[in-house]
Amino acid sequence: MRENYTYPLNLEWTNDELVCVMKMWQTVEKAYEKGIPIEECLENYKQFKQIIRSIGEEKKLGKEFEEVSGYSLYRTIQQAKILKKGRLKMQEDSKK
pLDDT tier, 5 (very low <50, low <70, confident <90, very high otherwise): confident
CB 40 within 8 A of CB 26: no
Confidence band of 31 (pLDDT split at 50, 70, 90): very high
Superfamily the domain 15-84 falls into:
BH2638-like (1.10.220.80)
Give dist(CA 48, CA 23) in Å, integer.
8
DSSP single-letter state for residue 72? -
Q: How many degrees, rounded to 5, is the angle at CA 59 between CA 18 and CA 6?
A: 45
Give residue-wise pLDDT tens across range 44-68: 999 999 999 999 999 999 999 999 9
Q: Give pLDDT tens digits for 67-94.
A: 999 999 999 999 999 999 999 999 876 4
Stretch 36-45: mean pLDDT, rounded? Answer: 98
Domain ranges of the chain: 15-84
Q: Count CA atoms closer than 13 A to 42's CA, side-chain side.
A: 14
